[in-house]
Amino acid sequence: MNDTVLQLPESPHDILDRSPDVKKVQVTLLDCDNLPVARGSATVPLLLGVGVFWPCCPMPCGDQLATAACFLLPGGELMKLQALTLCPGDPPRYEFRVSSL
């Protein structure tokens, strides 16, 4: 049995920055009633179920983001969100995790 423990980078952004296949696509962030909360671009395909979302301005307030349930991709596919977390820095970006790929 191999007991080697692999360390992931501190942030999935490091992986995304080096991956040649990652593309930004235009997405719509929807709430649980499928109403638009925000629009912007997101990284696809996801690596380890993690992606990055860059909202277009103006960005909705935190209360509206708390209702975010999924992303609508250009082809009509939905990605159900498990978490949406504001990352430090400027411009604003959010790390997201999806429930299932």
- 5 within domain boundaries: no
- 1 within domain boundaries: no
Q: Would the pTM of this model clear 0.75, i.e. be above it?
A: no
Q: Does residue 31 surpass a pLDDT of 80?
A: yes
- 72 within domain boundaries: yes
Q: Does residue 8 surpass a pLDDT of 70?
A: no
Q: Which own/partner pairs from 18-26 qualify as long-range (CB within 8 Å, at least 24 positions apart)? A: 19/47, 21/45, 22/47, 24/54, 25/73, 25/74, 26/74
Rounded CA separation 72/65 (Å):
15
- 27 within domain boundaries: yes
| Number of domain units in the chain | 1
Domain limits at 80? Answer: 12-98
What average pLDDT does the structure give for the chain? 78
**Residue 22: its pLDDT value, please?**
67
**Residue 2: its pLDDT value, please?**
57
Rounded CA separation 53/57 (Å):
13
Q: How many CB atoms lie within 10 A of CB 65?
A: 17
- Give which of 51, 54, 49, 53 is closest to 99, Cα–Cα: 49
pLDDT in tens, 41-86: 998 766 677 889 998 876 667 677 778 899 999 889 998 999 988 8
**Residue 71: its pLDDT value, please?**
92
- 4 within domain boundaries: no
